[in-house]
Amino acid sequence: MNYAIATLGSHSALQILRGAKDEGFRTIAVCRGDHAFIYKHFGVADEVIEIESYSDFPAVEDALLERNAILIPHASLIAYVDLKAIERMKVPYYGNRKILFWESDREKQRIWLEKAGLNLPKVFKDPSEIDGLAIVKFPGARGGQGYFLVRNEREFKRKIGDIKEYVIQEYVVGIPVYIHYFYSVIRNELELMGFDRRYESNVDGIGRIPSRFQRDIKVTYTIVGNFPLMLRESLLPEAFRMGERVIKASREICSPGIYGPFCLETIVTPDLKFYVFEISARIVAGTNVFMETSPYALIKHGKPMSTGRRIALEIREAIEQGRLKEILG
Ligand code: ADP
């Protein structure tokens, strides 16, 4: 094949590039100089293009065009490179570029998820409305850094300081479940790739100290890693239905809608309800726990299949069927 798969060296790049090689593509990692050795070390990149900082990414446009590269987005690309600059780049891009504007804006996300009829945590528009445990979040995919909990307006005012941009959401007590989906345009089918839960500092460390010391700890949610998770089988139908509704709603808000990998971030309560607090409209790092395969992807495909490899398989099938245009956005 005359195409290369390229991505920014961070987040899920090892998985994406390894998957692309498994499907027969040439691979390119665009890396910050101090990260390049990782991609060389693991041998997943046929070529490493070094940049000084993430904001220099748009400057590699010509190099990627010359190499017939298809760019695969992930959270680091979206978080560290200006969205408008990504939108302007002429490099073929896997996915619907415009959907990123829906993902990166919490209000738009909410409109999308409400349209899909999903169960969402309440949002308190004003701190005076806080009537129970609430989580305070900041803009952008910051990996939970600095988020905190409050119970009322007084506590909120004490903790917020002079921060102006925030969202106050009902804190749903349950367990977090991150659902990994892949919607294939070429096969016209939604696939359930797997589930993970996150390992966050310091909230996941709180249980390691006696309760009398816990109250002095300022709890926050900085993501450090992920664990694989198998869901009760009786919850799979609802997980599928939620994914399908999200795709349908996305076609109304941002044609041709979402395709490829995406993730619903949920809390499951003891009555087995999913509360969706966020959507990621591209590959999530939680899929890295299945860098070889998830059990679901293995039984679906009859061979190991990571989300990274699934992306490459989709691109390969699109090329073979002369349908590449349908999946580049
Ligand atoms: P980010 O988008 O910055 O990665 P998230 O929105 O995923 O941050 O939230 C970080 C953490 O906070 C996650 O562990 C998640 O489980 C928890 N969390 C977020 N929103 C809620 C909520 N409404 N109820 C309970 N826990 C939540």
Rounded CA Rg of the chain: 20
Greatest C-alpha distance within the chain: 64
pTM attached to this predicted model:
0.94
**Which atom, in ligand 1's list, is nearest to the CA of 223?**
4
d(CA 74, CA 11): 7
Residue 209: the pLDDT is: 95
Q: How many CA atoms lie within 13 A of 297 on its CB side?
A: 24
Q: What is the pLDDT of residues 5-50, one digit of tens each?
A: 999 999 999 999 999 999 999 999 999 999 999 999 999 999 999 9
**Which atom, in ligand 1's list, is nearest to the CA of 170?**
23
Q: Give the residue, by CA position, lying nearest to ligand 1 atom 20.
A: 277
Residue 225: the pLDDT is: 95
Ligand 1 pocket (Cβ < 6 Å) reads 121, 135, 137, 141-144, 147, 169-172, 176, 198, 200, 221, 265, 267, 277-278
Residue 221: the pLDDT is: 87
Name the helix (H) or strand (E) containing 131.
none
Q: Give the residue, by CA position, lying nearest to ligand 1 atom 4.
A: 143
Residue 93: the pLDDT is: 94
Q: How far is the CA of 301 from the centre of ligand 1 (A)?
A: 32
Q: What is the pLDDT of residues 258-296, one digit of tens each?
A: 999 999 999 999 999 999 999 999 999 999 999 999 999
Name the helix (H) or strand (E) containing 47.
strand 47-51
Residue 227: the pLDDT is: 98
Residue 100: the pLDDT is: 84
Domains and CATH numbers, the chain: 1-93 (3.40.50.20), 96-120+174-198+225-329 (3.30.470.20), 123-173+203-224 (3.30.1490.20)
49 forms beta bridges with 30
Residue 123: the pLDDT is: 95
Residue 143: the pLDDT is: 63
Per-block mean pLDDT, blocks of 10 residues, the chain (329 long): 94 98 97 94 97 93 97 92 87 92 89 97 96 89 78 94 91 97 98 97 95 90 94 97 98 96 98 97 97 97 98 98 95
Q: How far is the CA of 147 from the centre of ligand 1 (A)?
A: 8
Best residue for ligand 1 mutational test, from 109, 137, 202, 227 (most atoms within 8 Å of Cβ)? 137
DSSP letter, residue 324: G
Q: In sequence order, which residues have a C-beta less than 8 Å from that of residue 9 and are 6 or more positions away?
A: 29, 30, 31, 32, 35, 36, 38, 39, 45, 48
30 forms beta bridges with 8, 49
